[in-house]
Amino acid sequence: MLKKRRVVVTGLGVVSPVGNNTEAFWKSLLEGKSGVNRITRFDPTYFTSKIAAEVKDFDPAPYLSPKEIKRTDRFVQFAVVSSKMAIIDSAIDLNKEDRNRIGVLIGSGIGGLHTVEIEHRQFIELGPEKGPDRISPFLIPMLIVNMAAGQVSITLGLKGPNSAVATACATANHAIGDGLRIIQRGDADLMMCGGAEAAITHMGFGGFCALKALSTAYNDQPERASRPFDKGRDGFVMGEGAGIVLLEEAEHAVQRNAKIYCELAGYGISGDAYHMTAPDPEGDGGVRCMIASIKDAGLKPEDVDYINAHGTSTIYNDKIETLAIKKVFGPHASKVAVSSTKSVTGHLLGAAGGVELIASALAIKEGIIPPTINYETPDPDCDLDYVPNKPRAAKVRVVMSNALGFGGHNATLVIKKFRD
């Protein structure tokens, strides 16, 4: 059997509710500065939940031409901007690289919902006689999930493996993990990977309200609404943004003297085969997924220093994820630090795993574990060390990042401090 090629993370790019660059994002996590506010993109008065974690002050103009902005949905703009940030951060000179060996794997849970709603609204207003003639020729290219990966590839001229994934809230972890496999087997030397989401629209938001999945108890105190593992949690807070990482074959990175954040060492995937939206009550899928990722990394559970949890702030996810962690880690579960950065960012759906892997990589680089904010009242069903409310300085060598999506999709990534 051929030895798997090692893969490292050399570039980070993020657009988030708490900062449109990596520095602002990380600073907000450590300060516990919530990105949740009353919705501004439309009037939420008649919705049961009225709050979300919107991206603020986003300007794609420095990264995209006016024509590109007009012809791309918001989620694609997030992806392109984050990808260009990751390239800049990596200090790679694409003109000196074989672009046939650089690929893109970026997903989205929902895709171009903004575009769908705008075009449909116009069709209805004009009626069946005039409506069809006014449908934009860019409707389909703007709404399809794969266009984030496609547009990044086109914009940066990356001609290697190009694909997309859509597995709800596990999307970005699957994209990053699949990018790992592509480099490991030698089909590319670099991969731009992650997720992008922009679904805070009337229908996207209304759909989650109808599911009774969103927090409604803190409409008057939005910054307190996302409270993973806290007994007072009552639902997640919808977010948007993108998290993109540049994965690079380790030897290639060392040869060009790249800044290396960490090594992407393990990837585990599984399916619950249980329910459309609810996790398996025994945490079976999450357990198998975490075990697979640790085994793939060549590590033991006790090697893990920190878990960036899926931690959505819903009753069932937090309870079941806690149970799954205890089953996987045994006695070590009480010793490993666990936090949910969704307490600050809200839940970015298909982009969540991307921004959370970035937070995990920075935890290794900076030696600081970001906190779970709004943790006020312990829940007997959630009895681990959730790094409550304040960041923690620590020697972070190995981090696990979980993503558990609707449909029973599970994906776990393991990263570790890189040693040449």
Tally Cβ neighbours within 10 Å of residue 122. Answer: 14
Q: Residue 305: which of 232, 400, 235, 376 has the closest Cα? A: 400
> Of the listed 169, 209, 262, 289, which one is catalytic?
169
CB crowding 287-316: b at 16 or more within 10 Å, else e: bbbbbbbbebbebebebbbbbbbbbbbbee
Contact 229, 258 (CB under 8 A): no
CB crowding 50-59: b at 16 or more within 10 Å, else e: bbbbbbeebe
Q: Could you give phi then psi for residue 188, rounded to 5 degrees?
A: -160, 160
> Of the listed 114, 252, 347, 409, which one is catalytic?
347
Contact 143, 111 (CB under 8 A): yes
> Of the listed 114, 252, 310, 409, which one is catalytic?
310
Tally Cβ neighbours within 10 Å of residue 140. Answer: 13
Q: Is 382 a catalytic residue?
A: no
- Residue 104's region, left for phi above 0, alpha for psi from -120 to 50, else beta, is beta
Q: Where are the alpha helices (DSSP H) in 32-146?
A: 66-70, 74-90, 113-130, 139-143
Active-site residue set: 169, 310, 347
